[in-house]
Amino acid sequence: MEMSKLKPVQDLQRERLTNLDQGIKQLLKDHPVDTLEFLLPDASKAWGKPLSWEFLNTTTRKHDLARKGYVMDLNVRYTFAKRSVVLVVLIEHWATAQSVNLHRTAHYYLDLLERFPKDEVVPVALVTDLKPARIANKVHSESRGRVWLHFETLVREVSREEYSAWAGARNAIAQALRGAMAGPQSRAEKVFRGAEALKGIVSPEEYRNLFTLAAEVGKLTLKEVEAYMKKTQLRSEALEWLESQAQARGEQAKAIATARNLLEHGVSWDIITSSTGLKSTELKKLAKPASARKLAKK
């Protein structure tokens, strides 16, 4: 019985992380120059902005057919005017620190080395967990006095970035992820300040999608948003969207209260569904409690 209760929660959690992962991946693809600047600032300073870039085929050979998810998150191949060697950046996004899997990344890295032996390949683990963690950055194997394998990856934990350090930066990646950065500010303030900066960087259409992503990265709740609204009296497209979510929940609650009342008075399900907009599956959940209350009154 306990397992059946846990499964839907686990499924929802898995779906949330999948949507977040896809959102981060799309963000990086839409802004490849900002991606390089945010993840590898030394490369940007040394070689300048890339002249061109391409997204490589992300499929790789499966070493374990029973294991799912053996696809690279994102690979970007950059070319620079000041450097003859092409830079390939292997980016793996991890929503939680405990999910980081360097053995998996090592498979991807070796595959890229085989495909592009003349290019410089840099693996990066982008972690958007809100809490800083001690994440291993290497896989090392040796025996009989010899090293058989040594693999390292660059770990970029967003939670170790200082929120105020990116104020005013025209970098879509940094601004969208500011809700997970370090600082004494509330999560709501971090998300909204980052969102305000995004308005001057991206189109209105992309902004709406990125605000949703930024709120998910910062794990905002409606209560936090309402508190921030009262404090700042801020109004924007983002706040209007969140208010509409709260309004929808309020309307749902009213519909449920009306349905309960009609059920107790013996009104047919067809009438209730047409008048409240609720589905029959939702009425089933309400029917038993309503019947129990009716018996209690008798």
Q: Over the stretch 117-142, which tens digit does the pLDDT of each residue have?
A: 988 899 999 999 998 888 889 999 99
Structural domain count of the chain: 2
Asked if residue 209 is part of any domain, the answer here is no
Q: Which of 141, 160, 179 is the last residue of a domain?
A: 160
One domain for residues 30 and 134:
yes
CA dihedral 226, 232, 234, 238 (to 10 degrees): -50
Considering the chain, what is the average pLDDT of its residues?
A: 78
User: What pLDDT shows up at residue 298?
Assistant: 46
User: What pLDDT shows up at residue 68?
Assistant: 45
DSSP for 50-98, written as a single string: -SEEEEPP-B---S-TTSS--B-SEEEEEE-SS-SSPEEEEEEEESSGG
| Average pLDDT rounded to a whole number, residues 220-225 | 78
User: What pLDDT shows up at residue 2?
Assistant: 43
One domain for residues 150 and 276:
no
User: What pLDDT shows up at residue 69?
Assistant: 41
| Average pLDDT rounded to a whole number, residues 93-112 | 87
Q: Over the stretch 182-209, which tens digit does the pLDDT of each residue have?
A: 999 988 889 989 988 998 999 988 888 8
Alpha-carbon distance values, 183 to 52, 186, 192 (Å): 35, 8, 14
Contact 183/190 with Cβ under 8 angstroms?
yes
Contact 50/79 with Cβ under 8 angstroms?
yes
Alpha carbons within 13 angstroms on the beta-carbon side of residue 274 total 5
One domain for residues 155 and 253:
no
Asked if residue 174 is part of any domain, the answer here is no
Asked if residue 151 is part of any domain, the answer here is yes
Is the pLDDT at 70 greater than 60? The verdict is no
Q: Which of 160, 190, 207 is the last residue of a domain?
A: 160
User: What pLDDT shows up at residue 63?
Assistant: 46
Asked if residue 66 is part of any domain, the answer here is yes
81: containing domain:
16-160
> Cα–Cα distance between 19 and 21 in angstroms, integer?
5
Asked if residue 166 is part of any domain, the answer here is no
Asked if residue 284 is part of any domain, the answer here is yes
> Cα–Cα distance between 98 and 95 in angstroms, integer?
9
Q: Which of 160, 177, 209 is the last residue of a domain?
A: 160
One domain for residues 155 and 252:
no
Asked if residue 194 is part of any domain, the answer here is no
One domain for residues 257 and 140:
no
Asked if residue 169 is part of any domain, the answer here is no
Q: Over the stretch 244-294, which tens digit does the pLDDT of each residue have?
A: 666 666 677 777 777 777 767 666 767 777 667 666 777 677 766 555 444
Answer whether 0.75 is exceeded by the pTM: no
Is the pLDDT at 148 greater than 50? The verdict is yes
One domain for residues 49 and 154:
yes
